């Protein structure tokens, strides 16, 4: 007679503890969270400034064009001498492409950028009386100027409400998240939709600086972050 098998003392399929629930996916942060985030960022830095050095709207435009795929510190190092020699489109044209190239040769893509600086300077003289236009369409028609560059110039030089999306801001907005998006334009439009009017003028400065110094790409410094408790990122370290 076959002996019946006794049930194992240890269950073969022990119940696992339930996995922690992930926060519900949202495209936008809720209004109370958005307001609290910017309230804290403003308290920490009431008058945020961009880190590119310039002396007028024209030199700001040139500096932002030169900053593509380069650091602000590297651009500033090159432009101090350049802007001392040429701080208007007319002076830049008199300087010429070869000399501009010599001034900025420490910056990445300096040959193409020197060509763009001369070309945009010529257009400013020919079509805009040597002045930097404040409308987006005219700015984006200039060589080397895209939507982000135009938004920076409009915001800083003319006090327009714009959101200039760079890699830092794009990461921060998707990581917290504030406004999720697969493209810079999607993030920009999302942020314009959810940020209260009182914060809009300086919003992109706060987020860019936060991404550059705190919410870094590889090692976010969450222990120093003033909005860590409002962040739902899986990358959060506190």
Is the CB of residue 180 less than 8 Å from the CB of residue 174?
A: yes
CA distances from 233 to 3, 195, 220, 222, 236 (A): 57, 20, 11, 11, 5
Phi, psi of 140 (to 5 degrees): -70, -10
- Examine the residue annotation and report whether 166 is marked as an active-site residue of this protein: yes
Helix residue spans in the chain (DSSP H): 31-44, 57-66, 72-85, 89-95, 97-103, 110-128, 136-140, 147-158, 167-175, 184-194, 197-213
Q: Is 148 annotated in the active site? A: yes
- Give the active site residue among 72, 87, 102, 166: 166
Helix, strand, or coil (residue 177): coil
Distance CA 85, CA 10 (A): 83
Of 175, 145, 169, 167, residue with least CA distance to 157: 145
Distance from C-alpha of 66 to C-alpha of 76, rounded to nearest angstrom: 10
The Cα–Cα gap between 171 and 123 comes to 34
Nearest by Cα to 54 from 30, 18, 78: 78
The strand pairing partners of 28, in sequence order, are 179
Kindly list the catalytic residues.
Answer: 148, 166
């Amino acid at each position: 007679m076959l002996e019946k098998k006794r049930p194992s003392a240890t269950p073969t399929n022990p119940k696992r503890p339930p996995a922690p629930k992930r926060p519900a996916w949202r495209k936008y942060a809720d209004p109370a969270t958005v307001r609290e985030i910017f309230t804290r960022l403003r308290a920490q830095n009431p008058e945020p400034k961009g880190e590119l050095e310039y002396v007028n709207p024209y030199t700001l435009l040139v500096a932002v064009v030169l900053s593509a795929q380069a650091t602000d510190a590297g651009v500033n190092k090159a432009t101090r001498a350049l802007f001392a020699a040429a701080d208007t489109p007319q002076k830049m044209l008199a300087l010429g492409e070869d000399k501009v190239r010599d001034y900025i040769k420490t910056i990445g893509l300096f040959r193409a950028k020197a060509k763009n600086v001369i070309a945009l300077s010529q257009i400013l003289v020919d079509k805009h009386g040597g002045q930097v236009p404040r409308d987006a369409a005219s700015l984006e028609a200039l060589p080397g100027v895209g939507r982000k560059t135009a938004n920076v110039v409009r915001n800083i030089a003319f006090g327009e409400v714009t959101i200039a999306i760079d890699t830092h801001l794009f990461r921060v907005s998707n990581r917290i998240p504030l406004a999720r998006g697969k493209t810079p334009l999607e993030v920009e439009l999302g942020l314009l939709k959810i940020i209260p009017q009182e914060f809009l003028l300086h919003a992109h400065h706060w987020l860019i600086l936060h991404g550059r110094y705190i919410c870094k790409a590889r090692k976010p410094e969450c222990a120093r972050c003033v909005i860590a408790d409002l962040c739902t990122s899986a990358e959060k370290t506190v």
